[in-house]
């Protein structure tokens, strides 16, 4: 259902060997709080550098290595849920060989998000990543009930932390309403536009906000505003570290703009 991140073509032999080495290497426990903070910062840097092959996997290894008494804190668990969610999105459920990894990381991510919520039930980021991971579960399990759980979590995140991840809660709710069939299911073009307009206003530099809003306008026949949003996406300067992801978004915008101009 959701295609909000670039898709990787699979790991090559070198990357596979690297990951095996990381997984099999003995974990070095941090000796001081400063060591722990340094490892957490490194993991966060790797998450931001997610277009680098193996970065998300390495971040997960580092974060898992911090699980020790007195137990993981809220930032660690949110980072872990985030890393798993971003990694899940690199797998293609249309490929049989990638389904087990998709399931493995979405389940691990949900565990991290649930533990974060047990520490702070009012954590907007924890609800957000839990909602996204439930969304991926609804895709993997083809479950409408799980999809509705995802919507509830994202609605809570939207109430608690509306600006998180570039207005992520509103963006993802808009995407769900955009891509889900309508009645008797929950799909709704007006709701999609309502959420995506708010996301676009809150985080105008986020290309997905503009792209998905443009697609919703296109769906309901609002050609002029659709062109404006798609043109914005094409004209936007790339953000460092997200070149591959944004190139895919720009290509999608160009394809839809070409379709609109052919009418």
Other CB atoms within 10 A of residue 235 CB: 9
Taking only the tens place, the pLDDT of each residue in 104-138 is 999 999 999 999 999 999 999 999 999 999 999 99
The reported pLDDT for the residue numbered 23 is 44
Does the residue 181 lie in any domain?
A: no
Cβ neighbours of 10 (radius 10 Å): 13
Which pLDDT belongs to residue 9? 38
Instruction: Give the H or E element holding residue 86.
Output: helix 74-88
- Which of 116, 143, 161 is the last residue in one of the domains? 161
- The per-residue pLDDT for 121 is 98
| 157 and 196 part of one domain | no
Taking the alpha carbons at both ends of the chain, their separation in whole angstroms is: 27
40 touches 66 (CB < 8 A): yes
Residue 184 maps to a domain: no
Which of 142, 161, 180 is the last residue in one of the domains?
161
Amino acid 153: pLDDT: 98
Q: Is residue 171 part of a domain?
A: no
Same-domain pairing of 150 and 203: no
**Closest C-alpha among 202, 205, 196, 159 to residue 174:** 196
pLDDT at 189: 96
Q: What is the pLDDT of residue 36?
A: 87
Alpha-carbon span 12 to 24, nearest angstrom: 18
The answer to whether the peptide bond before residue 183 is cis (omega within 30 degrees of 0) is no
What does the pLDDT read at residue 200?
98
Same domain for 22 and 109? Answer: yes
pTM, two decimals, is 0.87
Give the number of domains in the chain.
2
Residues 140 and 28 in one domain: yes
Boundaries of domain holding 79? 1-161
Name the 3-class secondary structure at 220.
coil
DSSP result, 8-67:
-----HHHHHHHHHHHHSPP---SSHHHHHHHHHHHHHHHHTTTSTTHHHHHHHHHHTT-
C-alpha Rg value of the chain to the nearest Å: 19
Question: What's the CA gap between 171 and 194, in Å, rounded?
Answer: 10
- Is the distance from CB of 136 to CB of 88 less than 8 angstroms? yes
Residues of the chain with confidence (pLDDT) below 70: 1-31, 68-71, 263
Torsion of CA 138, 139, 141, 146, to 10 degrees: 10
């Amino acid at each position: 259902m959701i295609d909000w991140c670039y898709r990787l073509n699979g790991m090559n032999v070198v990357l596979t060997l690297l990951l095996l080495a990381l997984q099999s290497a003995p974990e070095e426990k941090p000796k001081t709080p400063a060591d722990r903070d340094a490892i957490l910062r490194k993991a966060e840097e790797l998450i931001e550098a997610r277009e680098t092959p193996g970065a998300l996997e390495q971040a997960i290894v580092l974060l898992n290595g911090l699980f020790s008494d007195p137990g993981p804190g809220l930032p660690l668990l949110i980072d872990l849920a985030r890393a798993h969610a971003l990694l899940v999105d690199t797998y293609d459920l249309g490929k049989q060989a990638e389904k087990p990894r998709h399931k493995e990381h979405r389940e691990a991510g949900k565990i991290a998000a649930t533990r974060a919520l047990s520490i702070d039930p009012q954590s907007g980021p924890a609800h957000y990543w839990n909602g996204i991971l439930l969304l991926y579960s609804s895709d993997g399990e083809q479950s409408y009930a799980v999809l509705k759980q995802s919507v509830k979590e994202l609605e809570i995140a939207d109430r608690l932390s509306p600006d998180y991840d570039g207005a992520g809660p509103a963006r993802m709710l808009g995407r769900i309403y955009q891509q889900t069939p309508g009645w008797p299911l929950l799909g709704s073009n007006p709701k999609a536009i309502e959420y995506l307009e708010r996301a676009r206003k809150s985080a105008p530099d986020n290309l997905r906000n503009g792209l998905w809003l443009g697609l919703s306008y296109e769906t309901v026949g609002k050609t002029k505003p659709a062109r404006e949003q798609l043109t914005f996406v094409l004209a936007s300067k790339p953000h460092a570290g997200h070149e591959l992801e944004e190139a895919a978004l720009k290509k999608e915008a160009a394809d839809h703009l070409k379709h609109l101009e052919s009418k």
